[in-house]
Amino acid sequence: MHRSSFFKELIVFQKPEKAPFRLIGAGICMAMPLFIGYFSNNLLIGSFGSLGIFTFLYYQTLPLKELLIRLGSVGAFLLFGNLIGVLSSHIPWLIPFAIAIIAFSARIIFRLYRIAKPGAFFIVMVTAMGTGTKIPLEKVPIMMSYVLLGILTSLVLAVILYFIEGKSGTPQKKISLQERLYTDPAALLDALHYATILFLATYISQSLHLTNAYWMVVSSAAVLQGDNLRAIMHRNVQRILGSMIGLLIAALLLSISFTSLEMILLICFFFVTVEYFIRRNYTIANFFTTPMALLLANLARHQYLVSLLSYRLIGIVLGSLLGLLGAFVLTTCLKFYNRAYQLDEHLDKETE
């Protein structure tokens, strides 16, 4: 009964609040840098600009000033994370430390300030992608300007969406960082655990010399988005299953000779589809995440198909399993830690 309920939970189709204009906004956000890159004959604008548009996915119903502060802060974090990732790629032994520091900072800040899911995930993702993109130092400012273009696009469309929806939300109560940490002391341990697992994921992927090694890091980060061990187990199964089907779709698409324009349209379609399904069913969302990511990678840099598919699968499986293992070890250790305290208290009462 317990096993059947577990698998039943995997295929549950959630029903979040309907927000059709947000889907349209997400599609426009992805399309803007891609089409600017296409018409300027510089597809790197689209490739790097697409990293900045993840800012839009943190849109919430808030008063306009608070919304812009929140999205601006997320955008700055995305830009800084990608910059640190790109710079660390020139000194490979620094990469695990760079990802761990960004992961720790993003995890604890996003949790304390209750920035809803996807939380720190996209910060880690763009940082990890930066470590896999070795750019000459003199060209780094130009590439960061492309990321900034994506962020600014997200902010403009967020303002437009705010007026279209006509919902301002209730102002958030101002609470100091010290008070937030005091009321949520587990945030520190959670961030340390998150950063440690991603440090190990980065170190292992580098040691195995995986092509596009950041995929293992991204998979670990995705699995650790679960709120508890059971949710993380769900994420592990859903990500591996969904990604395997996504790889089959990607293999079919990448075997077809699409023009750059056709690839851009497919990427926008997949992005909107992922945004639609991500809050409804994580497995189905992964059907489209993998082909979208591979098409983006293939857009500006035509990589060998078999290498893309095989290393993507290896990275997803290893990263997902490492994330699950890390969550299991932490949960088990905390249970024994709590039992130790309970045991000490029980023995103290008996000696009295």
Tens of pLDDT, residue by residue over 54-99, are 898 888 888 888 899 999 999 999 999 999 999 998 998 999 999 9
Q: Check residue 286 and give its pLDDT.
A: 76
DSSP 299-333: HHS---HHHHHHHHHHHHHHHHHHHHHHHHHHHHH
Mean pLDDT of the region 110-129: 85
Q: Check residue 347 and give its pLDDT.
A: 41
Mean pLDDT of the region 104-119: 85
The pTM of this model reads 0.84
Mean pLDDT of the region 160-166: 88
Asked if residues 177 and 112 have their Cβ atoms less than 8 Å apart, the reply is yes
Asked if residues 175 and 205 have their Cβ atoms less than 8 Å apart, the reply is no
**Confidence grade of residue 300 (pLDDT, cut at 50, 70, 90):** low
Q: What is the mean pLDDT of the chain?
A: 81
At 267 the three-state DSSP class reads helix
| Short-list 211, 240, 212, 210, CA closest to 322 | 240
% of residues, the chain, pLDDT over 70: 83
Token pair of 93 as six digits: 């032994």
Q: Check residue 178 and give its pLDDT.
A: 82
Minimum mean pLDDT range among 220-224, 269-273, 311-315, 324-328: 311-315
Q: How many residues does the chain have?
A: 352
Token pair of 26 as six digits: 């997400």
Q: Check residue 342 and give its pLDDT.
A: 56
Res. 26: pLDDT tops 80: yes
Residues in contact with 158: Cβ distance below 8 Å, sequence separation at least 6, in sequence order? 25, 55, 56, 59, 67, 68, 71
The per-residue pLDDT for range 261-292, each reduced to its tens digit, is 888 898 889 888 888 887 777 777 777 877 88
Out of 125-134, 161-170, 171-180, 235-244, the most confident range is: 125-134
Res. 162: pLDDT tops 50: yes
